[in-house]
Structures are given as structure tokens and as C-alpha cells.
Amino acid sequence: MRVPNTKVWLKTEFAQRPDLLASGTTVADKVLGRLNATWNQSKSVSSEFSGRYRELLRVADAEIGEMAARAGDIPCRLGCTYCCKDERIVLTEKEAVLVVQHIEAQLDAEQKGRVVASIRAAAPTSDQASVPCAFLIDERCAIYENRPLACRSYFSRSVASCHDFFLDKSRMPQRFSAPKMVEIAVHEVTRAAKHSKLYEINTLMQRIYADPDKPTQWAAERMSDESDLADPE
């Protein structure tokens, strides 16, 4: 699966609404400009990919928050977990680096034990089978600050519609999709998704945690390898 660029996505999303397409394109230009500037500036803060990527996420979160505020009352909140149980969650290997760093450096031994056990027991997430994400522990995300962009940019218009979809897959949830533009813009800026694959979260994490001694080494190798980041200048 390849992430489209922001303008291609906008054209598809608003093909029937030229008014929304025009204003969306203007917003996309501003968002892309801001994220590009952040990405370039953060090179002086951190030479490592993960530091720069965290800074980019900080700005992307602010953009997403601003769009969500403009869109009105978004019912998504901590503890509401339909999408964590009901969506196929994808991430790049670069995003997985942040997740591994979170597990290894921020969780205590007990939390880490539970997360690794959950990863090993998990089936691949699927939007058709209500399979939970491995990081959903006690109805909370165990890696919330470092969750993938796919999770950051999901907004519902109605909790009731998420509930209905959970019970009946023919009833699609009502979503607010503008923050998706930020998700795509981030991938576009880092090029992380343009040249590297997107992976289903539970399967990729099982691969990384197949040998519990290796995840730190796995992350370090990916953090220093920027070969899939086109034109970092």
C-alpha cells in the first residue's frame, strides 16, 4: 500500500465538491509548508531520525488539533476504543522505531511484559473482524504518545456509529477525515511511506519481538538508516 500525496488524496476525497477541494488545497499548501519547515529546522535539534520525527509529530498533532477544533465537537476520547478494536492499523518501519523505543525505555518491567505477551498473542488487525490492536491493554493504549499517525488522525463524527459498525460491518462509521490530510502530509514530508512499505501493526510487532533480545538493535539499525528518506535536504 502506498500513501498518496496530499493533493491526490484531496482530489479523490472531494471529487464531487469543487468548493471544498479549492479550500482544502489551500489548507494543504499551508500544512505542507509548515511541516516541511519543521522537518528542516529539526535537523539542527537532532541528527537522528527519531528526534526529528518526534518534532514533526508534535507540530502535526497541533495541526490535527486545530482542524478538529474547527470541525466542532469530536466525540473521540481516551477510553473510547472502538477503532482500536475495529480498524486495520498500519504503520511504517520508521514509526515502529518510536514504538519500540517507547516499549523499551518508557514501560516498566510489568507493563513491558504485558505488552510483549499481548503482541505475541495478537492476530492481525482487520476492519472486518473486530480484532484488537496488541497495544490496547485494559482499554487503554499502552504507547499513546508514540502511537502511529493512523491512530492520531482518526476522528469519529458519532460514537453511536462506531458502536453500530462494531456490531454490524455493513453499517459504516461516520468519520471526520480532514486530519487524514495531515497524516498524508507528514508521510510526504518525511518520505517515510513513499519508499518504504506500510505494515499491519500486530504482524510487524510480532516480527520485531520474535526474539525479545533484538528489538533495541532492530530500532537502532532503522534509526541510523535514512536510505528510504528521499532528499533529506
DSSP codes joined into one string, 27-52: HHHHHHHHHHHHHHHHHHH-SSHHHH
- Is residue 28 a contact residue for ligand SF4 (CB under 6 A)? no
Query: Which residue in 148, 89, 149, 142 sits closest to 112, CA to CA?
Result: 142
User: Least distance to ligand SF4 from the beta carbon of 141, Å?
Assistant: 3
| SS3 state of residue 90 | strand
User: Least distance to ligand SF4 from the beta carbon of 45, Å?
Assistant: 26
DSSP codes joined into one string, 67-87: HHHHH------TT--HHHHHS
User: Least distance to ligand SF4 from the beta carbon of 203, Å?
Assistant: 13
- Is residue 180 a contact residue for ligand SF4 (CB under 6 A)? no
For residue 140, the cross-strand partners are: 137
Q: Which of 107, 141, 159, 220 contacts ligand SF4 by CB under 6 A?
A: 141
- Is residue 74 a contact residue for ligand SF4 (CB under 6 A)? no
- Is residue 147 a contact residue for ligand SF4 (CB under 6 A)? yes
A 10 A CB-CB count for 72 gives 8
Helical packing angle, 215-224 and 49-71, nearest 10°? 90
Q: Which of 31, 60, 151, 178 contacts ligand SF4 by CB under 6 A?
A: 151
Rounded CA gap, 131 and 203, in Å? 12
For residue 141, the cross-strand partners are: 136
- Is residue 82 a contact residue for ligand SF4 (CB under 6 A)? no
- Is residue 64 a contact residue for ligand SF4 (CB under 6 A)? no
Nearer to ligand SF4, 42 or 50 (CB): 50
Task: Give the per-residue contact string, 100-139, with ligand SF4 (x = CB under 6 A; - = no).
Answer: ---------------------------------x-xx---
Binding residues vs ligand SF4 (CB under 6 A): 84, 89, 133, 135-136, 141, 143, 147, 151
